[in-house]
């Protein structure tokens, strides 16, 4: 069976969408280590997708009847559990970010998928837990 020809990606447009992250090391053309990839690709994409990330987590939390308006002491462990154990949510959050990779980034990601998924989901969890006040407002329309 022949390998399908990949469709062209609008790499330049994808790169221009990315916001600057304060404290980020200077950009290099193509990240060569997992740490470089985390700082130069994952962090800006998570910043770009922040609203979508919170809306997705809020929707799933409501599906599981988590009390989004509850105190931080109640909500934090419940969301941590949800983000750790819900495989469908984890795959959705991964897809929110991976869909914005350039072709080179996707090739690098495929080589280091396990480590990058772990880092991506850790960063996403930190971002959600540090935005509990935004999340408790519920999903945005």
With CA atoms as reference, report the closest residue to 15 among 80, 102, 82, 98.
102
The answer to whether residue 10 sits within a structural domain is no
Asked if residue 109 belongs to a domain, the reply is yes
Residue 58 lies in a domain: yes
Instruction: Answer whether residue 17 is part of any domain.
Output: no
Please report whether residue 49 resides in a domain: yes
61: left (phi over 0), alpha (psi -120 to 50) or beta: alpha
Answering whether pTM is above 0.85, one says no
**DSSP assignment, residue 88?**
H
Provide the residue-wise pLDDT of the chain in tens; the chain has 141 residues: 667 776 676 777 777 777 777 776 656 667 889 999 999 999 999 999 999 999 999 999 999 999 888 888 999 999 999 999 999 999 999 999 999 998 899 999 999 999 999 999 999 999 999 999 888 765 544
| Measured distance CA(113)–CA(34) in Å, rounded | 10
* pLDDT score of 87: 97
Residue 117: which domain range?
33-136
Residue 59, pLDDT score: 94
Question: Which pLDDT score is estimated for 141?
Answer: 44
47 assigned to some structural domain: yes
Domain count for the chain:
1
CA distances to 3, 55, 58 from 52, rounded to whole Å, are 33, 5, 10
pLDDT at site 19: 73
Is the residue at 130 inside a domain? yes
For the beta carbon of residue 71, count every other beta carbon within 10 angstroms: 10
Q: Is 18 inside any structural domain?
A: no
Residue 97 has what pLDDT? 96
């Amino acid at each position: 069976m022949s390998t399908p020809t990949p469709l062209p990606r609008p790499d330049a447009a994808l790169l221009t969408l990315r916001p600057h992250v304060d404290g980020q090391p200077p950009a290099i053309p193509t990240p060569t280590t997992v740490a470089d990839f985390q700082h130069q690709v994952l962090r800006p994409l998570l910043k770009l997708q922040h609203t979508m990330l919170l809306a997705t987590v809020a929707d799933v939390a409501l599906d599981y009847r988590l009390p989004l308006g509850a105190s931080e002491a109640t909500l934090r462990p419940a969301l941590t559990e949800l983000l750790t154990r819900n495989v469908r949510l984890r795959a959705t959050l991964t897809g929110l970010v991976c869909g914005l990779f350039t072709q080179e980034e996707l090739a690098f990601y495929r080589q280091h998928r396990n480590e990058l998924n772990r880092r991506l989901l850790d960063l996403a969890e930190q971002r959600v837990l540090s935005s509990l006040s935004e999340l408790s407002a519920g999903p945005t329309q």
